Chains A and B, each alone.
Chain A
Amino acid sequence: MTPEIADVKRWLLERKPEIGDLDPDFDLIDNRVIDSLSFLDFVFFLEELTGRELQATAETVHHFRTLRAIEGNILHV
Chain B
Amino acid sequence: MSEIAQTLDRIIGMSIDTYYNPYKTFQWPDELPNEQWWMTRDLMTIRGTALESQLSEKQLMALSKWESIHFYSLNVHGIRELLLEVIKRVHTPGFEEESEFFHHFVGEENEHMWFFATFCLKYGKKIYVDKKIKIPAGEMPADIESLLVFARVLIFEEIVDYFNLRMGRDESLHPIIRQVNAIHHQDESRHIAFGREIVKLLWEGVRERHPAERQQEIRDYLGRYLQASIQSLYSPAVYADAGVPEPYKVRTALLADPVRHEADIRVLKRTTDFFSSLGLHS
Verify that A and B bind, or say they do not: yes
Nearest CB of chain B from residue A30's CB, rounded to whole Å: 9
Q: Contact: B225 with A55, CB < 8 Å?
A: no
Within 8 A of A (CB), among B93-122: none
Q: Check B134 against A58 for contact (C-beta < 8 Å).
A: yes
Chain B CB within 8 A of A14 CB: no
Instruction: Enumerate chain B residues within 8 angstroms of A47, measured Cβ to Cβ.
Output: 236, 248
Main secondary structure of the interface of A (DSSP, over half): helix
Per-residue CB contact flags for chain B residues 11-41 toward chain A (1 = under 8 Å, else 0) read: 0000000000000000000000000000000
Residues of A near B237 (CB, < 8 A) are: 53
The answer to whether A35 and B248 have CB atoms under 8 Å apart is: no
- Selected from A39, A44, A45, the residue in CB contact (under 8 A) with B133 is A39
The 8 Å CB contact of A54, one of B131, B224, B232, B249, is: B131
Would A39 and B236 count as touching, CB distance under 8 A? no
Band of interface residues on B: 10 to 19
Interface residue A34 (Cβ < 8 Å from any Cβ of B): yes
Q: Which residues of B approach A to under 8 Å, CB–CB? A: 129, 131-135, 137, 221, 224-225, 227-228, 231-232, 236-237, 248-249, 251
In the complex, how many residues of chain A place their beta carbon closer than 8 angstroms to a beta carbon of chain B?
21
Contact A35 B135 (CB under 8 A): yes
- In the complex, whether A70 has a CB less than 8 A from a CB of chain B is no
Do A39 and B232 have beta carbons less than 8 Å apart? Answer: no
Q: A37-B224, A44-B248 are in contact. Are A56 and B131 (CB under 8 A)?
A: yes
